[in-house]
Chains A and B, each alone.
Chain A
Amino acid sequence: MTAIELDGVRKEFGDVAALRGVDMTVEDGEVFGFLGPNGAGKTTTIDILLDFVRPSSGTATVLGMDAQADSRAIRERTGVLPEGFDIYDRLTGRQHIEFVAEAKDADPDADALLDRVGLDHEDATRKAGGYSKGMKQRLVLAMALIGDPDLLILDEPSTGLDPNGARRMREIVREERERGATVFFSSHILGQVEAVCDRVAILQDGEVVAIDDIDGLREAAEAGTTLTVELASPVDDLEDAVGGVAGVESVAVDGSTVTVGCAEDAKMDVLSAIEDAGGTVENFETEAASLDDLFAAYTEGES
């Protein structure tokens, strides 16, 4: 079964297109990272999954149910850490947990929950109005975990967390997957996603520009290797000779310097093609693109 399925989802706010046809499938039991810069449409997508916002066209299915028609049933089995949330100032941390427990008809062990998210028991008896951003984040994460949901939707979960809190967050995500839950979480920071996600989608300008597992993305990143070759002297017609090699995407010749964008495993073929064309390789260096470069390339305009 699929946990989340988006099919041609578009959303316009007035004449601004926030989502331009998002297709995406999240499988049951996986940890799915939803990456993209701020403003790419991540929160709008999540808002559609939770029926906070209705798509202009296309369909969204969550846990096999229609995101609009069956929203309540979906939210019974889903734990959510929304973006831009606030909590109830006059309720204590524990009262928040009790409220969610009543709403979800669950009977959670509040102490264990507080320990899991790292919220001090003393703090949990205080009114939440005085909480820091990080404490609020921890509390709402604890609320999301109540009732062992089948699906966790976490929108920018590391916001306001210190490194310790962020690590704890990753641990919780792993634990929840081991329990059998699907975790869908969004972030604009690759590092948070890379460490725990099985698969990743990259959203840019309201469109999914890449969707793959981390290894696949890494391979795609490595495909972006740049090979810089210094020749003893300039050689004519190198562009054609090198451009014909399988795996080469770009060639630039500047005097005796040749810059080739190619797949990692095409390097040796490129070097021998240069020699075959009469060039003498004095020196060369390769620079493999990192996942960061790839993400940057995807999200900061065309590479």
Chain B
Amino acid sequence: MSDDGASGSDGGGTGRSGSSGGGMGEDIQRVDAALREQFSWYVVAKKEFKDTVRSKLLWLLSAIFVIVFALPAFLGLYFGLGQIAQQQGATLTTDAFFGSAARLGSALIPLVAIVVGYASIVGERKSGSLKVLLSLPFSRGDVVVGKVIGRSAVVAIPILIGFLVSVAVLLPANVALNAVGFVLAALLTALLGVVFVSLAVGISAAARTGRRAIVGTVGIYVYFFLFWNSFANSIGGLLGEYLNVTAGTAATTSLFVKLVNPTQSYQTLVDAALGNSALTARATMFQGLRIAGICEQALGGNVSMSQGAGISCQSTGAGVPFYFSNVAVLVYFLLWIVVPVALGYRLFDGADL
């Protein structure tokens, strides 16, 4: 308490008189008290967050994301792309940068989130600090939710800082800012962090040993990155070959399986946020000839190629099927926050500690 309120209350007589500093400190204290009153997980989340700030992890992550997101923009802009664009008199948009940042982020962020989350509960269970924590009036649900929220903030805030710095690098140059695309891409990227923190905390809640939590989280990461895509790519073909399903069903299944992978749904959502149509964003999750197959068989569109825009999937009038729409994909993406936490909580809540 005195930690946060130090500037407000410790000022004593002068702070009381309503100087802006004291007033803000009091406001923060009031919000803090209201949150504490309202949400029983809040104290846990706050402790988690402050603990990470203390460990300097937050600053390390911020530095990493600034480097990952802003450095390519900086180098590309001031040593290459920017000059070319200006010479040609073309307007360079920020979209290109965020698109590549998203691709980089989708590999790095899950790993960072796993490191932040995997020990969150099982670590305390093994050390015995969970006994102290659960001696206090917190339910096990408060502990799980508090950990998810506190550690999500630890990952999401550095990601947002990375995006802000990258935009600060891009703005002075002659680059058109797609503000909506920027905000959406930043939020989606932060959400990707939240998804994998949730997954890691869920596994940490369910695991009885730290080793199992590591194996579980890393296993899922490897699975998403190495095996899921080839599984998604091949399942359509296998269905066609062995079960004689129609080409439409096979393509729909392939796309759907691919979308269930949160790193994939993240990328296609970022593509959509940066101005691609939902159809194109979905179809270009695949490569080469398969783009046409998915576009026509699963999405009911027509493939077109143009020199400037590359491959796109055009609607034939019916639009995108609702289960492949941006909103539906966002729901699949967000289910990765809800489901692992719910499952992990169920196992944790039923366990003898």
Whether the Cβ atoms of A140 and B132 lie closer than 8 Å is: yes
Q: Evaluate whether A50 and B135 lie within 8 angstroms (CB atoms) in the complex, with A85-B128, A98-B3, A99-B43 already known.
A: yes
Q: Closest B-chain residue to A88, C-beta based?
A: B129
Whether the Cβ atoms of B36 and A105 lie closer than 8 Å is: yes
Which chain B residues in 17-51 approach chain A with CB under 8 Å?
36, 40, 43, 46-47, 51
Whether the Cβ atoms of A143 and B132 lie closer than 8 Å is: yes
Q: Closest B-chain residue to A91, C-beta based?
A: B51
Q: Evaluate whether A52 and B352 lie within 8 angstroms (CB atoms) in the complex, with A86-B127, A104-B137 already known.
A: yes
Q: Evaluate whether A75 and B137 lie within 8 angstroms (CB atoms) in the complex, with A98-B1, A99-B47 already known.
A: yes
Q: CA A101 – CA B55 in complex, angstroms? A: 22
Q: How far is the CB of A47 from chain B (nearest CB, A)?
A: 7
Q: How far is the CB of A46 from chain B (nearest CB, A)?
A: 10
Whether the Cβ atoms of A54 and B352 lie closer than 8 Å is: yes
| Stretch of A58-66, A76-84, A177-185 at the chain-chain interface | A76-84
Q: CA A50 – CA B130 in complex, angstroms? A: 12
Chain B residues positioned under 8 Å from A86 (CB to CB): 127-129, 132
Q: Evaluate whether A88 and B51 lie within 8 angstroms (CB atoms) in the complex, with A72-B138, A80-B135, A99-B43 already known.
A: yes
Whether the Cβ atoms of A103 and B128 lie closer than 8 Å is: no
Contact of A95 with B by CB under 8 A: yes
Binary A-proximity of B95-136 (CB < 8 A = 1, otherwise 0): 000000000000000000000000000000001110110111
Whether the Cβ atoms of A101 and B1 lie closer than 8 Å is: yes
Whether the Cβ atoms of B36 and A82 lie closer than 8 Å is: no
Interface size range on A against B: 35 or more
Chain A residues positioned under 8 Å from B128 (CB to CB): 82, 84-86
Q: Evaluate whether A47 and B353 lie within 8 angstroms (CB atoms) in the complex, with A75-B135, A101-B1 already known.
A: yes
Q: CA A73 – CA B47 in complex, angstroms? A: 21
Between B43, B46, B135, the greatest number of chain A beta carbons within 10 A of the residue's beta carbon is seen for B135
Whether the Cβ atoms of A52 and B129 lie closer than 8 Å is: no
Secondary structure at the B interface, as helix, strand, loop or mixed, is helix
Q: CA A76 – CA B136 in complex, angstroms? A: 7
Which chain A residues in 122-143 approach chain B with CB under 8 Å?
140, 143
Binary B-proximity of A156-170 (CB < 8 A = 1, otherwise 0): 000000000000000
Contact of B2 with A by CB under 8 A: yes
Q: CA A121 – CA B40 in complex, angstroms? A: 30
Q: How far is the CB of A2 from chain B (nearest CB, A)?
A: 21
Binary B-proximity of A78-115 (CB < 8 A = 1, otherwise 0): 11101111111011000100111111110000000000
Chain A residues positioned under 8 Å from B132 (CB to CB): 80, 82, 85-87, 140, 143
Q: How far is the CB of A103 from chain B (nearest CB, A)?
A: 4
Contact of B139 with A by CB under 8 A: yes
Q: How far is the CB of B54 from chain A (nearest CB, A)?
A: 5
Chain A residues positioned under 8 Å from B2 (CB to CB): 98
Q: CA A91 – CA B53 in complex, angstroms? A: 11
Chain A residues positioned under 8 Å from B55 (CB to CB): 90
Chain B residues positioned under 8 Å from A13 (CB to CB): 352
Q: CA A34 – CA B54 in complex, angstroms? A: 40
Q: CA A87 – CA B54 in complex, angstroms? A: 15
Contact of A71 with B by CB under 8 A: yes
Chain B residues positioned under 8 Å from A144 (CB to CB): 135
Q: CA A216 – CA B128 in complex, angstroms? A: 37
Q: Evaluate whether A103 and B134 lie within 8 angstroms (CB atoms) in the complex, with A82-B128, A88-B129 already known.
A: no
Whether the Cβ atoms of A76 and B137 lie closer than 8 Å is: yes
Whether the Cβ atoms of B135 and A82 lie closer than 8 Å is: yes
Binary A-proximity of B134-156 (CB < 8 A = 1, otherwise 0): 11111100000000000000000
Q: Closest A-chain residue to B350, C-beta based?
A: A54
Binary A-proximity of B40-76 (CB < 8 A = 1, otherwise 0): 1001001100010011000000000000000000000
Contact of A53 with B by CB under 8 A: yes
Q: How far is the CB of B155 from chain A (nearest CB, A)?
A: 18
Q: How far is the CB of A91 from chain B (nearest CB, A)?
A: 7
Q: CA A101 – CA B136 in complex, angstroms? A: 10
Whether the Cβ atoms of A53 and B135 lie closer than 8 Å is: no
Q: How far is the CB of A77 from chain B (nearest CB, A)?
A: 9
Whether the Cβ atoms of A52 and B134 lie closer than 8 Å is: yes
Q: CA A52 – CA B138 in complex, angstroms? A: 12
Q: Evaluate whether A103 and B353 lie within 8 angstroms (CB atoms) in the complex, with A82-B131, A88-B129 already known.
A: no
Binary B-proximity of A28-61 (CB < 8 A = 1, otherwise 0): 0000000000000000000100101110000000
Whether the Cβ atoms of B134 and A90 lie closer than 8 Å is: no
Whether the Cβ atoms of A53 and B47 lie closer than 8 Å is: no
Q: CA A103 – CA B44 in complex, angstroms? A: 8
Q: How far is the CB of B352 from chain A (nearest CB, A)?
A: 4
26 contacts between A and B (CB under 8 A): A13-B352, A47-B352, A47-B353, A50-B134, A73-B137, A75-B134, A75-B135, A75-B136, A75-B137, A75-B138, A80-B131, A80-B135, A82-B131, A82-B132, A84-B128, A85-B131, A85-B132, A86-B127, A86-B132, A87-B129, A88-B51, A91-B51, A98-B1, A98-B3, A99-B47, A103-B136
Task: Give B residues with C-beta under 8 Å from A.
Answer: 1-3, 36, 40, 43, 46-47, 51, 54-55, 127-129, 131-132, 134-139, 352-353
Which 3 A-B pairs rank lowest in CB-CB distance, beginning with the nearest?
Answer: A80-B135, A82-B131, A86-B128
Besides the contacts A52-B352, A100-B136, what 11 more A-B pairs have beta carbons closer than 8 Å? A76-B137, A83-B131, A84-B131, A85-B132, A86-B128, A86-B129, A88-B51, A98-B3, A101-B1, A103-B138, A104-B137
